[in-house]
Amino acid sequence: MGPQSPSRTAAAPLAEIDDLRIAFRGHDGVLTDAVRGVSLTLNKGERLGIVGESGSGKSLTGRALLGLLPPAAHLRAKTLRFDGTDLLALSARKRRRLCGQQMGMILQDPKYSLNPVMTVAAQMREAFALHAPKTGRREMREKIVEALAAVHIRNPERVADAYPHELSGGMGQRVMIAMMVSSGPRLLVADEPTSALDVLVAAQVLAILDEMIGKHDTGLIFISHDLPLVMSFCDRVVVMVAGRVVETCAARDLLHAQHPYTRGLLAANPPLANPPDELPVLARDPAWLIDPREAARGAAT
Ligand SMILES: Nc1ncnc2c1ncn2[C@@H]1O[C@H](COP(=O)(O)OP(=O)(O)O)[C@@H](O)[C@H]1O
Ligand SMILES: [Mg+2]
């Protein structure tokens, strides 16, 4: 960036996480950190990918921002901010309100996110009422059908009256996105939004997300273990291993990433055009698991 760059005067980030730790109590009663000091920022309109092996703390990190952690989780952080608001200082009620109105989350499996005993229209009504509580019944119905049509659902009237189990995975996913799109969240966490879908439906879902982000300047946290997808869809990528961020880089620079874990992930994604005979196996180094700060504290006491 040149000296004329306005970046130094740019507004505060949309989301700011500093030293996030999330712990669970084990059978022995001891609290163990699952997320061990994650720091990251997200700017308006930015798409931040989080990649890493399963269990590395990606979902917990995303959920922490939205206040959607499991009740057993113990959260500590130096900073947890949304658009300048200190989320840690808000009452539970204010927090829920803020999250409901300005943030959204799309989960991997719509089966667990849509309420099975409510029709699509009934749950969309609840979601929309958060934003426009005084909407009349007929106007609400129109808004719901419009939102479903906007995510390319061909028979929105019928889908509106369906129960979640009557929908295919791709359809359920689009219903969830429809709920998000129409509210135009400022921050969206998409947690493996396409990994349960076949390739064509996944591409459609990504196109819908893309359109929404462009329209509302939404900041996106895109959790995935699909490196090529993240490289093409995101601006910046955070790599997590065992509850910590081990690397952050521009998505286009991911191919030149330095951390051995990232290099291993990349090697495990062979080029389609010219695949090697044998896929390399990711060699894990126990040193990746050690938190340098914990090691320092251990040495000090
Ligand atoms: N409800 C829970 N109770 C106990 N431990 C949990 C719970 N949820 C997550 N964890 C722990 O946190 C780790 C990270 O979880 P998660 O963020 O879901 O990983 P990821 O999304 O990267 O696969 C898990 O490996 C698990 O050890
Ligand atoms: Mg996860």
Q: What is the pLDDT of residues 93-113, one digit of tens each?
A: 999 888 888 998 888 777 677
Is the CB of 34 inside a 6 Å radius of any atom of ligand 1? yes
Instruction: Single out the residue of 159, 168, 153 nearest to residue 141, CA to CA.
Output: 159
Specify the higher pLDDT residue, 278 or 135: 135
pLDDT for the residue 115: 86
In the DSSP assignment, the letter for residue 166 is G
In the DSSP assignment, the letter for residue 7 is G
Minimum-distance ligand 1 atom for the alpha carbon of 58:
22
Instruction: Single out the residue of 74, 141, 63 nearest to residue 103, CA to CA.
Output: 63
| 16-49 confidence digits (pLDDT tens) | 999 999 999 999 999 999 999 999 999 999 999 9
For β-strands 103-106 and 236-241, DSSP reports them as: unpaired
Atom 4 of ligand 1 has which residue's CA nearest to it? 24
Burial track 56-85 (b if 16+ CB lie within 10 A, e otherwise):
bbbbbbbbbbbbbbeeebebebeebbbbee
Distance 62 CA to ligand 1 centre (A): 12
* Residue 171, phi then psi, degrees to nearest 5: -70, -45
Q: Integer distance in angstroms from the first to the last C-alpha of the chain?
A: 44
Minimum-distance ligand 1 atom for the alpha carbon of 56:
22
**Res. 301 pLDDT band, cuts 50 70 90:** very low
Is the CB of 54 inside a 6 Å radius of any atom of ligand 1? yes
Instruction: Single out the residue of 95, 107, 97 nearest to residue 179, CA to CA.
Output: 107
pLDDT for the residue 3: 46
What percent of the chain clears pLDDT 70, i.e. is strictly above it?
Answer: 85
**Res. 161 pLDDT band, cuts 50 70 90:** very high
Quick one: which ligand is closest to 192's CA? 2
User: Domains of the chain: which residue ranges?
Assistant: 11-300
- Range 11-300: architecture per CATH: 3-Layer(aba) Sandwich (3.40)
Distance 65 CA to ligand 2 centre (A): 14
Lowest mean pLDDT among 44-48, 80-84, 260-264: 260-264
| 118-141 confidence digits (pLDDT tens) | 999 999 998 888 777 788 999 999
Compute the average pLDDT of residues 85-93.
94
Ligand 2 is an ion; residues with CB less than 5 A from it: 59
Helices (H), 120-236: 120-131, 137-150, 156-160, 169-183, 199-216, 227-233
Pocket test for ligand 1, best of 17, 25, 31, 60 (most atoms within 8 A of CB): 60
Q: Is residue 8's pLDDT more than 60?
A: no
Is the CB of 224 inside a 6 Å radius of any atom of ligand 1? no
